[in-house]
Amino acid sequence: MMNELNDNDEQTNDEEKVTKEDKETIEDLSKENNRLLDILKRSQADLVNYRKRMSDEIEEVKKKSNSQLLLKLLSLVDDIERVMEHAPEEQKTESWFKGFSLVSRNLDNILKFEGVKKINAAGKAFQPIEFEAVTYLETSEIPEGHVVEVVNEGYLLRDKVLRPSQVVVSKLPACDQDENSEEGVEKNG
């Protein structure tokens, strides 16, 4: 009977040993499982971020390419407008002029479809983002720093400047500037 008890004790000790070993193994496997799950989640997040970054970069390249093409079209539009403006009146009824008018309208429609619109510059206060000053004109008839004349039209592409308007900007005549600066000195003095 004693042997049986000893056998039972040994069996219980063996079961406790196995149970402790099993628990350690389970714990180790659980830690390894969590580590691998963490690696998997990070890899998935990296992949999602990579795809988004690539998509954004592709979209940016498309926009840049589109802008470059539209700028080239704008040069063509400018040339056609100059030809039509400088054509003698008697030639404006001829077929070549009508062809230019048709091409001009088609280009305008394409630009409008792509989200391109002219910058309305005439008479506005000079804004360096939308306008490029090519020269100044001394005048007291228009407030200083306003657009007197548009030399070359500017365009927006979906509310961003595609090409700035080239403009002539008003400037007070030298005698008016001297008077204004003298008035300022008198007021301050």
Same domain assignment for residues 103 and 178: no
Same domain assignment for residues 171 and 147: yes
Same domain assignment for residues 15 and 75: yes
Output the pLDDT for position 170: 93
Same domain assignment for residues 128 and 93: no
Report the C-alpha gap between 121 and 155 in whole angstroms.
10
Same domain assignment for residues 49 and 107: yes
**Residue 187 structure tokens:** 């007021």
Output the pLDDT for position 53: 96
- 97, 114, 131 - which closes a domain: 114
Same domain assignment for residues 102 and 58: yes
Output the pLDDT for position 189: 45
Number of domains in the chain: 2
Same domain assignment for residues 122 and 110: no
Output the pLDDT for position 22: 82
Same domain assignment for residues 97 and 143: no
Report the C-alpha gap between 69 and 83 in whole angstroms.
22
Same domain assignment for residues 105 and 76: yes
Output the pLDDT for position 167: 95
The vertex-111 CA angle with 92 and 155, nearest 5°, equals 95
Among 81, 76, 68, 78, smallest CA distance to 157 is for 68
- 114, 149, 173 - which closes a domain: 114
Same domain assignment for residues 14 and 106: yes
Q: How much is the average pLDDT of 140-151?
A: 91
Same domain assignment for residues 177 and 138: yes
Cross-strand pairs, 169: 136, 147
pLDDT tens string 87-123: 999 888 889 889 989 999 999 999 999 999 999 998 8
Report the C-alpha gap between 18 and 76 in whole angstroms.
86
Looking at per-residue pLDDT, the higher value among 186 and 58 belongs to 58
- 86, 114, 142 - which closes a domain: 114
Same domain assignment for residues 85 and 132: no
Q: What is the CATH number of the domain that holds 151?
A: 2.30.22.10
Full domain range(s) for residue 79: 1-114
